[in-house]
Amino acid sequence: MRLVGLTGGIASGKSTVSNLFKDARVPVVDADVVARNVVQKGTGGWKKIVKAFGDEILLDYGEIDRARLGQIVFSDPSKRQLLNCLLAPHISSGIFWEIAKLWMKGCKVIVLDIPLLFETKMDRWTNPIIVVWVNPETQIERLMSRDSCSEEQAQNRINTQLALDWKKSEADIVIDNSGSLDDTKHQFQEVLRKVSEPLTWKERLRSRDGLISVVMCTAVGVLLAQKNLL
């Protein structure tokens, strides 16, 4: 099994690229979706947030007010760290289960779309690592327009993550998403070709079919050895 890391900066275009993978029928685990699921009303993550941030963080129907929580944590590093610590175990086990489900289905290449891949050190588990990069002006423009926020708010959010240029320097593959969507789609074709290359023997061993083959071969070997001994 090949775990492909897909990361970048806020609003750099990860979801745009992960949609291209989905269109190409490559399964994607989206950490933002996992992070949303683990704080749904009544879950362990939800209880921790309510305990730490109080009832004021809830909407009328009991779900977390994400916009409000975002305002708090993106303007206060200690609160952000608290939220990260509370949710990290839930998010990593959520991602683990999503991978396990796809592994059991026999998927050989899985894309992990994780915004904080480097920050959470999950880059250790992925190879290759794709970084979706944009130039700073485009990033801030797209973030302001998507989230209807001020330049200051957008810059604050960007500053909460490791520098996108540093992430780019750590990448195995870089997609420059500063241009048009067609330009990104064009680069994506080459990326898809690379991630779809035949698995290495290590990756094959980690796949469901590889593990089944190893277990079968071992069982046959043990049976043959026993037969020879009798």
Ligand X SMILES: CC(C)(COP(=O)(O)OP(=O)(O)OC[C@H]1O[C@@H](n2cnc3c(N)ncnc32)[C@H](O)[C@@H]1O)[C@@H](O)C(=O)NCCC(=O)NCCS
Under rule CB under 6 A, residue 161 binds ligand X: yes
- Minimum Å gap between C-beta 32 and ligand ATP is 6
CB under 5 to 8 A by kind: which of ligand X, ligand ATP, none does 37 bind?
none
- Minimum Å gap between C-beta 8 and ligand X is 8
Under rule CB under 6 A, residue 226 binds ligand ATP: no
Report the residue from 41, 47, 66, 146 that binds ligand ATP according to the rule CB under 6 A.
146
CB under 5 to 8 A by kind: which of ligand X, ligand ATP, none does 31 bind?
ligand X
Residues 6+ apart with CB under 8 A from 118: 7, 162, 167, 170
Q: How do strand 2-8 and strand 173-176 relate by DSSP bridges?
A: unpaired
Compare residues 11 and 109 and give the one whose CB is closer to ligand X: 11
Which H or E run includes 132?
A: strand 129-133
Under rule CB under 6 A, residue 10 binds ligand ATP: yes
Distance CA 204, CA 123 (A): 20
Q: Map tokens 């990593």 to a residue.
A: 92
- Minimum Å gap between C-beta 161 and ligand ATP is 9
- Minimum Å gap between C-beta 147 and ligand X is 8
- Minimum Å gap between C-beta 70 and ligand X is 4
| Interface map 55-94 toward ligand X (x if CB under 6 A) | -----------xx-xx--x------x--xx--x---x---
Q: Do residues 36 and 90 touch, judged by C-beta distance below 8 A?
A: no
Please count the residues of this chain forming the interface with ligand ATP, following the rule CB under 6 A.
16
* 3-class DSSP state of 52: helix
Under rule CB under 6 A, residue 10 binds ligand X: yes
CA angle 220, 223, 224 (to 5 degrees): 85
- For the sheet containing 173-176, what is the strand order? 28-30, 109-113, 2-8, 129-133, 173-176
Under rule CB under 6 A, residue 161 binds ligand ATP: no
Compare residues 20 and 49 and give the one whose CB is closer to ligand ATP: 20
Give which of 194, 144, 155 is closest to 174, Cα–Cα. Answer: 194
Q: Do residues 141 and 183 touch, judged by C-beta distance below 8 A?
A: no
Q: Do residues 131 and 171 touch, judged by C-beta distance below 8 A?
A: yes
Residues in the site for ligand ATP, rule: CB under 6 A?
8, 10-16, 32, 115, 142, 146, 177, 180-181, 184
Footprint of ligand X (CB under 6 A) = 10, 31-32, 35, 66-67, 69-70, 73, 80, 83-84, 87, 91, 114-116, 160-161
